[in-house]
Amino acid sequence: MAAPNPERQRASREKLKDLLAYPASVFVIHYACQSFNQGQKLGSPRVTAIAVRNVASSETTVFSINRESELARLGPVHILSRLDQLEYALLQKFFQFIELNRNNRFVHWNMRDATFGFAAIEHRFRVLGGTPVRLGETNKFDLARGLTDIYGSRYVQPPYIKSLARKNNLSLAGFLDGPSEAEAFEMGFYDQVQRSVLAKVRILFDVFHLAHDRTLKTDANWWTLNRGRAREAWEMLEHNPVYAFGAILVTAFGIGLKVLEYTGI
């Protein structure tokens, strides 16, 4: 397991602190889509459900084909012929929500590109004839990358969200992995897709808070988390002995506290 880079580790911890300083203006977001592997079928994967949860209130808003089909009072037989209209309706409502909250910040999980991310959602709306509202990059925080910066690579075994939930005793009720979500959608189990996205946004919400509080359980041990800073102190010792000596004392004090904690003295 590669140790985290000290500078990126500090920056990500500061970002978590900054986000939770104004929780009412922060949302956790996740979404589901059709399978990326559609065989001979052309076109981008359809967006099937999006969930957004406010960090301060825990209020969660969901935009989904399941909700839109219910509102339209469509039976299972009629949904397949109306998927474009249903997807357009959910995306229209989603981007209206983004328009109202475009100055707020969104914590996401790997939603970084045109395959899976904000750009992919925007593209789907354009395909269907809509005009998406774009969020600025400073309004997005990738929790997946932030945790890697803090805890180092492979801090839990993949799949990461499920592993984090299990390690931290978070409920997996309703949770489906990506391929299972796509399969459920193809089989017409739209309610299962919606429940899965809601489960994931709830887990990410909890992981976000645990990481901020420094109580998130991972496979990274104390040495993995801190050896980068120990290396920094050693390099500093060569160039600035007085300043470095103080840093080493602080590190040693931290080690001592951990020893006392483990021994129960």
C-beta separation of 177 from 196 below 8 A: no
CATH topology of domain 6-213: Nucleotidyltransferase; domain 5 (3.30.420)
pLDDT value at residue 233: 45
Name the token pair of 146. 């932030």
Name the token pair of 93. 């409502």
Dist CA 78 CA 174 (whole Å):
26
What is the residue extent of each domain of the chain? 6-213, 222-263
Please name the helix (run of DSSP H) or strand (run of DSSP E) that holds residue 64, with its range, or none. Answer: strand 60-64
pLDDT value at residue 3: 85
Q: Is 195 helix (H, G, I), strand (E, B) or coil?
A: helix
CB atoms within 10 A of CB 165: 22
Q: What are phi and psi of 11, to 5 degrees?
A: -65, -40
Write down the pTM of the prediction. 0.86
pLDDT value at residue 260: 57
Cis ω for the linkage preceding 23 (within 30 of 0): no
Residue 65's closest CA among 35, 86, 92, 81?
86
> Interior CA angle at 143 toward 123 and 162, to 5°?
95
Local mean pLDDT, 10-residue blocks, the chain (265 residues)? 90 98 98 82 89 98 98 94 97 98 98 97 98 97 98 95 98 97 96 98 98 97 71 49 60 57 56
pLDDT value at residue 68: 98
Q: Is 107 helix (H, G, I), strand (E, B) or coil?
A: strand
pLDDT value at residue 79: 96
pLDDT value at residue 230: 47
Residue 52's closest CA among 211, 205, 168, 213?
205
